Structure 1
């Protein structure tokens, strides 16, 4: 089976209708590499390669939480993983499904369900869980972290990426990216919802995950190129692991 989208009723209240509407309105532009989603297309190879250095994806069962139009989910499936992408924005899921069909991507499926509800159905079922650029868009990010920890198998990996909350991040990620350079649509990020690495690390550890590695990601406005680095002041990625059963 190439791809399918399944729909389910979600009971989770951890969703912001305005955030869903924002991404649904842009859904048709997900796979336009010169659209508002250009930055995601640019950073995708970087984050994919980083994940692959820590856990080769071939043959792995992978969950992508907040998959949107499927940019990362599709790429992971092309590395040989069996991928389930979940989101609550139906239009984005339909775009992801359509792209998988058009591109002939094998091993990827999409489902309309929250991480919390999926955790109650499929706890401990995934080798790898990714949750990228999603935590800063939900009312209760800690609940999503908890769900991700529940969904991954013992010994499995959970990857997060989000935005730091500090004056530099406000200047670069909101003022710079949204209003000066027009890299992102205005209103993409709300400062109060950005998450400090220390906060995410606390949530991760409280759910029994060990913090394995943290990386930063920077953008050079002159070369228009993104690069992984050690500067976590603005964009950062966190690799965590669930301890193996003894």
Structure 2
């Protein structure tokens, strides 16, 4: 069987415990609900550019096979489905998948949700046009191996979008001290600062996996307007990298 070394059991247990709250915008996943429109805007823009799609048309992602890895309750998986994609949502936590399936059924969506990992998908020889790798890589045990498995899951010409968290004093103060201990937006222990990844480290990881980095942006939270925006220059905390597989 394909190696499962990327799985971090303690991380899975954390998200299993919170699974029922995925679709509660005021619950433990409130920060993701707040960030989700900004993430979605970036994803749609990148996919439309790379695959020459017009998001003003009906089902602009029709014909694209998209993987949402570490999909949780489906906060990004469902929008991809509504845009017309053939989307597969995969998560190592079975309770997350149960919640995602129930929510999709209530919405009248027939969706492909699976309990699994990048390793199991590679073993099954799955291939995708787009991989959404959003706020996942900082939770895996071996990110370099994980990146290589993502490369193997992309079709030639495929696009991967990966968002994660920078590792510096600012991210420690904002996401560990601020979000977990002061504001209590997240349960204590949700993040481990030493697993955060600097942008240059992530880009090097992708290059070593034969992926070509094509774009990077920051996701910046404004505490005054209480919303998120995309920044060309501020990658100090949350950021996203888009990369491609050419061959």
Q: TM-score, normalised by structure 1?
A: 0.91
CA root-mean-square deviation: 1.5
- Hey, what does 1:102 align to over in structure 2? 106
Q: Which sections of structure 2, spanning at least 5 residues, go unmatched?
A: 49-60
Q: Which sections of structure 1, spanning at least 5 residues, go unmatched?
A: 1-8
Q: Which moved more, 1:185-194 or 1:41-50?
A: 41-50
Distance in 2 between residues matched to 1:10 and 1:27, nearest whole Å = 27
Q: TM-score, normalised by structure 2?
A: 0.90
Distance in 2 between residues matched to 1:109 and 1:177, nearest whole Å = 33
* 1:53 maps onto 2:45 in alignment: yes
Counterparts of residues 120-131 of structure 1 (less than 5 Å)? 120-123=123-126, 125-131=127-133
- Hey, what does 2:4 align to over in structure 1? 12
CA deviation after TM superposition for structure 1 residue 10, in Å = 7.7
CA deviation after TM superposition for structure 1 residue 142, in Å = 1.3
Distance in 2 between residues matched to 1:220 and 1:34, nearest whole Å = 18
CA deviation after TM superposition for structure 1 residue 221, in Å = 2.2
CA deviation after TM superposition for structure 1 residue 11, in Å = 5.2
Counterparts of residues 227-242 of structure 1 (less than 5 Å)? 227-230=229-232, 231-242=234-245
Counterparts of residues 11-30 of structure 1 (less than 5 Å)? 12-30=4-22
* 1:85 maps onto 2:77 in alignment: no
CA deviation after TM superposition for structure 1 residue 185, in Å = 1.7
* 1:63 maps onto 2:55 in alignment: no
Distance in 2 between residues matched to 1:195 and 1:212, nearest whole Å = 18
Superposed structure 1 runs of 4+ greater than 4 Å apart: none
Q: Secondary structure at the match of 2:191?
A: coil
Distance in 2 between residues matched to 1:93 and 1:224, nearest whole Å = 30
The 3 A distance-change label for structure 1 pair 109 and 95 is same
Distance in 2 between residues matched to 1:46 and 1:100, nearest whole Å = 22
Q: How many pairs align?
A: 234
